[in-house]
Structure 1
Amino acid sequence: MTKRIDDIVIIEEEEPDFCEYCGKLAELRPYGKNGARICFNCGIKNKEETNKNMERILFERKKH
Structure 2
Amino acid sequence: MNDLACNKDRHAKIGEGSIGLDAICRVVSHEKLKGLPFNLETPNELPGYEAEIKVIREKQENF
Q: Shared fold (TM-score greater than 0.5)?
A: no
Structure ranking higher in strand proportion? 1
- Using the size of structure 2 for normalisation, the TM-score is 0.32
Q: Which has the larger radius of gyration?
A: 2
Q: Which has the higher contact order (CA 8 A, sep 6+)?
A: 2
